[in-house]
Amino acid sequence: MNTRFLFNQMFFLLFSVIMMACSDSGTEVTGDVEVAAVTVSPATLNLNIGETQRLTLTIQPENASAKSGVWSSSDESVATVSDDGTVTAQAEGNVTITVKVGGKSATCEVTVAASASEEEDNNDATLFDLTKLTGAELAKAIADASAAGITRFTLKGDYAALNLVENNPFVGIYMESLDLSGVTGWPEVSNGQAGVPRHAFYDKDIRIQELVLPEAVKAVGSYAFSQCVMLTSVTAPGLQTVEPYAFQYCSALKKVSMPQVTSIGESAFFNSALVEADFPVLTSVGNLAFHQCASLVSVNMPQLTALGEIAPLYADQPIEASVFGKCSALVSVSLPKVTVVGDMVFESCKSLMKIELPEATDIGIFSFRGCSALQEVSLPKAVNINDYAFADCPALRTIQLVTPNNIAVYSSAFGESNSQTQNITLTLASQNSSQVDQVETPDGKITYTWNGYEWKHISYK
C-alpha cells in the first residue's frame, strides 16, 4: 500500500512540473483567447443622405477567438449599419454606431447632412430630394442648378413640396429631361385617380423637353400641360386617364408612351406633333382628340369601339367629332373593333390612301370628306353611310360594302354627282344585287346604278 501511495505522489509532482513548464513557454492550453480591446476607424464620419461607407473593425489581440462583432445604430432613422459595418445615411442628424465584441466595444460618431442635389452616375441627372425641402427651397435649388448649367433633373419624395399649381418651381427653367418617377403622394385628379393636377403646367413659361411620370400617376388633369411648346416626349407607364385639353398645343410633342390609357378626353392632343397614336387598351376617345396633328402617321387602337358621334337625322349641323380631322400625314389606321365612325372623324386626312374598318356599321357626316388620296375603302358591315361621308375623294377607286343587310346611303354620301362614282368599282353582297340597275347602252356600254349613283362597275360577293 505504501509503495502505491508513494508512486501516486511522484506522478502528481511530475505532472505539475510539466504543466508549469508549458505555462512558462507560452504554450496555449485552453481553447479561448479573450478580446483585450476593439477599435473602429474612422472614429468620426460625415455622410450626405443616401451615401454609404464601411467601417473597419480591429480586434486585439490578433489571435483572439472572436473575429467579428455585433453592430448597432443609436438611431436608424438617421443612419443604419449592416452586419459587415457598412453605414447608410438615411436622414439629416447625428448618430452613434457601436460594435460589441466579446464584452468590449467601440464607437463611431456619424453626422449626416441633407443634400439638396447630387450627381447620379447613371444618367448625369441631378437628384432633388423633396423629403427635407420646402417649396421655396426646392425652387431655389432648381434655379441654382440651372444657373450652373444643369439640364437633367430627377426628383424623389412627397409631392407636397412641388405645389405645381400655385408655385410651379419649373417655370422658366430649361430642362432637357424631368424625371418625376420617384415622386409619391400625388393628389386626386379624376374620379379617385391620383395624378398631375389640372393646369399644373398650363400657360406658364415651361421649357421641359422630356418628361417621365411614375406608375402612381393614373390621371393627367385638364390643361395640365397645355401649351408646353418645348415638350417632346412623355413616358407615363401607369397613366389611365388623359383629361380634356391635357396636351393641346404641345406643338413639339412627338412621342408618348402610355400603354395603360383607357380614356382620352376632348382635344387632349389637339395640334400636337405626335407621329404615332398607339394606345393598346384605349376604350374612349373625345372629340378633336388628335385634330390637326399634322405629323401623325399611324393610329393603333385595337380595343376602341366608338370613334366620335353622329348627329341625329335632319340635325342642322354635324357634330364636330373630328378625332383625326386634318391629320394630313396619316397613312395607317388600325381600328379593328370600331363600330361607329363619327362626323368629320377623318376629314381632310390628305395622305390616307386606304381604310379598312371590319366592324364599322355607321359612317358619320363628312367622316372622310376631303381625303384626296383615298383609293380603297373596305366597310364589310356598314349599313348607314351619312351625308357627304366620302365627298371630295377624287382618287377613290374601290369600295367594298358587302353586308347582306340593307344599306342606307344618305344625301351626297359619295359626292354631289356621279363624277366620283363613275371611276369606282363597287362590291356588294350578292343578296343586294336586286338593288342594282344594270343597263346596256346602244353602243354596248354597260351602266351600273345603285342608290342614285352611276358606278364604273359593280361586282358581288
Please tell me the predicted confidence (pLDDT) of residue 265.
98
Q: What is the pLDDT of residue 272?
A: 98
Residue 73 pLDDT exceeds 50: yes
Flag whether pLDDT at 161 surpasses 90: no
Query: What's the confidence (pLDDT) of residue 91?
Result: 87
Amino acid at 137: E
Q: Which fold, 311-461?
A: 3.80.10
- Give me the sheet containing 425-428, strands edge to edge: 354-356, 376-378, 398-401, 425-428, 457-460
Q: CA of 17: how far to CAs of 7, 12, 20, in Å? A: 16, 9, 5
> According to the model, what pLDDT value does residue 215 have?
95
Q: What is the pLDDT of residue 3?
A: 47
The per-residue pLDDT for 396 is 97
- How far apart (Å, rounded) are the C-alpha atoms in residues 114 and 90? 9
Percent of the chain with pLDDT over 90: 71
pTM confidence score: 0.73
Separation of alpha carbons 131 and 183, rounded Å: 10
| pLDDT score at 63 | 87
Nearest residue to 137 via CA among 169, 181, 177, 179: 169
Residue 327 scores a pLDDT above 80: yes
Instruction: Give tens-digit pLDDT for 290-317.
Output: 999 999 999 999 999 999 999 998 888 9
- Residue 6 is classified by DSSP as H
What are the residues facing 340 on neighbouring strands?
A: 306, 362
Which set of grid coordinates corresponds to residue 385?
353611310
Mean of the pLDDT values across residues 229-233?
Answer: 97
Residue 39 has pLDDT above 50, yes or no: yes
Nearest to 240 by CA among 220, 210, 270, 267: 220
- The CATH architecture that domain 37-113 belongs to is Sandwich (2.60)
Give the rounded percent of residues in the chain with a pLDDT score beyond 70: 91
- Among 63-72, 328-337, 388-397, the range scoring the smallest mean pLDDT is 63-72
pLDDT exceeds 50 at position 78: yes
User: Which pLDDT does position 444 carry in this prediction?
Assistant: 81
pLDDT tens-digit map of 427-437: 999 999 999 99
Distance CA 114, CA 129 (A): 9
Q: What is the pLDDT of residue 31?
A: 63
pLDDT at 447 over 50: yes
- The model's pLDDT over 127-148, given as tens digits with 9 standing for 90+, comes to 888 887 888 899 999 999 999 9
Q: Which residues contact 141 (CB under 8 A, 6 or more apart)?
A: 116, 117, 128, 133
Decide if 427 contacts 397 (C-beta within 8 A).
Answer: no
CATH of domain 116-273: 3.80.10.10
The whole-angstrom separation of Cα 151 and Cα 142 is 10
Residues of each domain in the chain carrying CATH 3.80.10.10: 116-273
Average per-residue pLDDT for the chain: 89
For residues 149-166, give the mean pLDDT. Answer: 90
For residue 20, pLDDT over 80 is answered with: no
Amino acid 52: pLDDT:
86
What is the pLDDT, as a whole number, of residue 124? Answer: 62
- Is the predicted pLDDT of residue 216 greater than 90, yes or no? yes
pLDDT digits (tens, 9 = 90+) for 244-297: 999 999 999 999 999 999 999 999 999 999 999 999 999 999 999 999 999 999
Q: What's the confidence (pLDDT) of residue 19? A: 45
Confidence bin at 458 (pLDDT 50/70/90) = very high
Q: Which residue, among 259, 238, 256, 260, has the nearest Cα to 247 in the 3D structure?
A: 256
Q: What is the pLDDT of residue 157?
A: 92
Listed in sequence order, the DSSP H helices in 148-245 are 164-167
pLDDT score for 88 = 92
Cα 113 to Cα 169: distance, rounded to the nearest angstrom:
23
Name the E strands within 246-323. Answer: 255-257, 263-264, 276-278, 284-285, 298-300, 306-307
Residue 83, pLDDT > 70, answer yes
Q: Which of the two residues, 417 and 267, has the higher pLDDT score?
A: 267
Provide the 8-state DSSP code for 171. B
What pLDDT, on a 0 to 100 scale, did the predictor assign at position 15? 47
